[in-house]
């Protein structure tokens, strides 16, 4: 692959993606680039599109299961992290006061907003990953989500170039968006603007501490992808899995967490095939015993048979 001269030496061939995913597993990318500046991110992704190479942008790798066979083409790890605070009111009524590039970590964003006395991102304080992934997936927790605070985002589209997409155009639902529904993946989220509410810092901190304590109590430590399945309407995926007696069920080195049945833990030596096999097994058992077809929240990427 050919990049502008200044970037070429940072393009790494045949690199393991395991260290860039929260589950700590998966094969190699044909090419890997770690972007720290917005210009580099845009230049590298555009160059790959121009060459007709498949491109996958990853933030924290917290919602993706990478195949053992790896990912063809270019994988870009997005570490572009800048946050600005201001007052950019527009005539659409959205009171924009935070602007963040897509590589900003959710935890960092939650903390910085708290320090600025802005409430609305507390839910993200212990959610791994970046704004980019959260915008695509409409990440959320504790009753909040990205959709609640987003005014609009800036996207680079392979066909249409730079675009501003409003919240309405993103058609957010529970862990869904128009971006997530796109199978071509030929877009790059560059930044998001948010409208948060002023609130006393102590109040925001107290809410974040409450969420952190709740997660410590209810969610297991170790390498995982968080919730594997979406909650079906009116129920919880974890409750259904537990009701089938699957807590602790293990395939290879991946276990259905005995603490939270919707979390699958890599004990250290797991393969992505083991992980995917456990996903399929649990899906089949839950369907058989409860009649509910669980839908995955995580995304399988790379070469799968
Ligand atoms: C321990 C743990 C706890 C979790 N808890 C929660 C929770 O409470 N709530 C929740 O909603 N999720 C949770 N998750 C899932 C995960 O944190 C979120 O989905 C998060 O938003 C993923 O962000 P990411 O940057 O890691 O995305 P990635 O996994 O890197 O990518 C996800 C998708 O977005 C695409 N993408 C990422 N960045 C860009 C970009 N800039 N441009 C274009 N496409 C992009 C990727 O190509 C991929 O398709 C948890 C995960 C873990 C491991």
Q: Please report which confidence band the pLDDT of residue 260 belongs to, taking 50, 70 and 90 as the band edges.
A: very high
Q: What is the pLDDT of residue 187?
A: 97
CATH classification at residue 232 = 3.90.78.10
Which domain range does residue 297 map to? Answer: 221-301
CATH classification at residue 170 = 3.30.465.10
On whether both 91 and 168 belong to a single domain, the answer is yes
Q: Please report which confidence band the pLDDT of residue 210 belongs to, taking 50, 70 and 90 as the band edges.
A: very high
Q: What is the pLDDT of residue 235?
A: 98
On whether both 111 and 193 belong to a single domain, the answer is yes
On whether both 73 and 177 belong to a single domain, the answer is no
d(CA 97, CA 76): 28
Q: What is the pLDDT of residues 242-257, one digit of tens each?
A: 999 999 999 999 999 9
d(CA 123, CA 80): 22
Tokens of 109: 């964003």
On whether both 92 and 173 belong to a single domain, the answer is yes
Q: Helix (H, G, I), strand (E, B), or coil: what is residue 131?
A: helix
Strand arrangement, sheet containing 71-78: 12-16, 28-35, 71-78, 55-58
Instruction: State whether the beta carbon of 60 lies less than 6 angstroms from ligand 1.
Output: yes
Plot region of 120 (φ>0 → left; ψ -120 to 50 → alpha; else → beta): left
**Phi then psi dihedrals of residue 239, to 5 deg:** -65, -45
Please count the structural domains in the chain.
3
Ligand 1 centroid–CA 251 distance in Å is 24
The pLDDT of residue 175 is above 90: yes
Q: What is the pLDDT of residue 227?
A: 97
On whether both 89 and 169 belong to a single domain, the answer is yes
Within a 10 A sphere around the Cβ of 272, how many other Cβ atoms? 26
Q: What is the pLDDT of residue 2?
A: 83
- Report the pLDDT averaged over residues 113-135: 97
Q: What angle do CA 65, 70, 74 make, to 5 degrees?
A: 105
Within a 10 A sphere around the Cβ of 267, how many other Cβ atoms? 12
Higher pLDDT residue, 82 or 4? 82
Instruction: State whether the beta carbon of 299 lies less than 6 angstroms from ligand 1.
Output: yes
The domain boundary, picked from 156, 189, 217, lies at: 217
The pLDDT of residue 58 is above 80: yes
Query: Cα–Cα distances in Å, from 214 out to 93, 209, 211, 220?
Result: 35, 9, 5, 11
On whether both 15 and 135 belong to a single domain, the answer is no
Instruction: State whether the beta carbon of 147 lies less than 6 angstroms from ligand 1.
Output: no
Q: What is the pLDDT of residues 73-102, one digit of tens each?
A: 999 999 999 999 999 877 788 999 999 999
| CB within 8 Å of 213: residues ≥ 6 apart | none
Tokens of 94: 């959205």
CATH classification at residue 64 = 3.30.43.10
Q: What is the pLDDT of residue 41?
A: 97
Torsion sign across C-alpha atoms 25, 141, 245, 301? negative
Q: What is the pLDDT of residue 182?
A: 95
d(CA 74, CA 174): 29
Q: Helix (H, G, I), strand (E, B), or coil: what is residue 276?
A: helix
Q: Which of 46, 55, 58, 223 should be mutated for ligand 1, with most atoms under 8 A from CB?
A: 58
- Report the pLDDT averaged over residues 135-163: 97
d(CA 184, CA 181): 9
| CB within 8 Å of 200: residues ≥ 6 apart | 117
Q: What is the pLDDT of residues 21-57, one digit of tens each?
A: 999 999 999 999 999 999 999 999 999 999 999 999 9
Asked if 143 and 214 count as a contact pair (C-beta separation under 8 A), the reply is no
The domain boundary, picked from 78, 101, 134, lies at: 78
On whether both 158 and 109 belong to a single domain, the answer is yes
The domain boundary, picked from 217, 237, 256, lies at: 217
Average pLDDT in the chain: 96
- Report the pLDDT averaged over residues 1-30: 94
The pLDDT of residue 1 is above 90: no
Q: Quick one: 223 exposed, middle or buried, by C-beta within 10 A (0-12, 13-18, 19+)?
A: middle
Q: Which of 42, 138, 139 should be mutated for ligand 1, with most atoms under 8 A from CB?
A: 139
On whether both 40 and 114 belong to a single domain, the answer is no
């Amino acid at each position: 692959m050919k990049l502008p001269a200044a970037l070429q030496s940072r393009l790494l061939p045949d690199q393991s993606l395991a260290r860039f995913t929260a589950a700590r597993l998966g094969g190699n990318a044909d090419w890997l680039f770690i972007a720290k500046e917005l210009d580099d991110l845009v230049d590298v992704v555009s160059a790959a599109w121009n060459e007709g190479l498949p491109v996958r942008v990853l933030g924290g790798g917290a919602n993706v299961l990478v195949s053992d066979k790896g990912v063809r083409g270019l994988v870009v790890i997005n570490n572009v992290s800048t946050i600005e605070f201001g007052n950019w009111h527009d005539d659409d009524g959205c009171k924009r006061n935070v602007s963040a590039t897509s590589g900003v970590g959710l935890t960092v964003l939650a903390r910085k907003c708290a320090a600025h006395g802005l409430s609305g991102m507390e839910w993200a304080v212990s959610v791994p990953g970046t704004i980019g992934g959260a915008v695509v997936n409409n990440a959320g927790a504790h009753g909040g989500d990205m959709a609640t605070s987003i005014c609009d985002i800036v996207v680079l589209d392979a066909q249409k170039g730079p675009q501003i997409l409003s919240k309405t155009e993103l058609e957010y639902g529970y862990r869904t968006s128009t971006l997530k529904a796109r199978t071509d993946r030929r877009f790059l989220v560059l930044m998001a603007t948010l409208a948060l509410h002023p609130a006393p810092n102590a109040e925001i901190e107290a809410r974040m501490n409450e969420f952190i304590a709740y997660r410590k109590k209810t969610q297991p430590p170790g390498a995982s992808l968080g919730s594997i399945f979406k909650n079906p309407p009116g129920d919880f995926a974890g409750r259904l899995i537990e009701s089938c007696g699957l807590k602790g069920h293990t395939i290879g080195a991946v276990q259905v967490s005995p603490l939270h049945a919707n979390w699958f833990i890599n004990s250290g030596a797991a393969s992505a095939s083991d992980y995917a096999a456990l996903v399929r097994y649990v899906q089949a058992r839950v369907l058989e015993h409860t009649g509910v077809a669980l839908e995955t929240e995580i995304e399988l990427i790379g070469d799968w048979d």
